[in-house]
Amino acid sequence: NAGVMQNPRHLVRRRGQEARLRCSPMKGHSHVYWYRQLPEEGLKFMVYLQKENIIDESGMPKERFSAEFPKEGPSILRIQQVVRGDSAAYFCASSPLATENYGYTFGSGTRLTVV
Amino acid sequence: AQTVTQSQPEMSVQEAETVTLSCTYDTSESNYYLFWYKQPPSRQMILVIRQEAYKQQNATENRFSVNFQKAAKSFSLKISDSQLGDTAMYFCAFIAYSGAGSYQLTFGKGTKLSVIP
């Protein structure tokens, strides 16, 4: 029973390049959440998606960041024209239902380094 | 706004001793759940314990227990018989309706716990 799978585990991009982070939720989970963790900080909510729908993107920067969760395949967090300040660990979590009584299952994160 | 405050950036404890990590939160919601997550150097976020806000009884999970004071909006974690494998960052979090169509998990900044042999 595989957990939440994120890849790559580490990603290095030069300033101005694009970063694509992938997340496959746990089997049976149709709700996906992306969080960002800056150094010495807790995780900050970015976006919540269900299959083919963005439900809540209130934590997503308005420019350069986008997310999708297609009918088939993993959820993708895309960062265009990366800058040094985008360097962080990006975590994906999934849950079976959109209620408050589930602690999400997290992946191991992708550490993005912008050089 | 929903916030979580962990006032102890770092703590240390001798192996086999007991340590308590503090957490306070603020929310206007009446239905919510509280969690403690552990993040070891591997970076994996591991759920340690959860507490339903409507339950008065404090949650317990083996060596881990919480002291939930709803009126004070306090949710501390007690680790008994500390082990070297408990060395990690510990994050307090709660989940409540965000008002934007989802239930958001809000985290504190974490407490770095070191267990000393």
Strands A110-114 and A10-13: parallel
- For A69-93, what is each residue's pLDDT tens digit? 998 899 999 999 999 999 999 999 9
- For A40-58, what is each residue's pLDDT tens digit? 788 999 999 998 899 999 9
pLDDT band at A101 (very low <50, low <70, confident <90, very high): low
* Interchain CB distance below 8 Å, B47 and A103: yes
pLDDT of residue A51: 87
Is B100 within 8 Å of B115 (Cβ atoms)? no
* Interchain CB distance below 8 Å, A42 and B52: no
Is A2 within 8 Å of A101 (Cβ atoms)? no
What are the φ and ψ backbone dihedral angles of B11, each rounded to 5 degrees?
Answer: -145, 155
| Mean pLDDT in residue range A88-108 | 82
- For B8-50, what is each residue's pLDDT tens digit? 999 999 999 999 999 999 988 888 889 999 999 888 899 999 9
Chain A contacts of B109, Cβ < 8 Å? Answer: 40-42
- For B56-112, what is each residue's pLDDT tens digit? 899 999 999 999 999 999 999 999 999 999 999 999 998 887 766 677 889 999 999
* Interchain CB distance below 8 Å, B103 and A98: yes
Dist CA B64 CA B11 (whole Å): 16
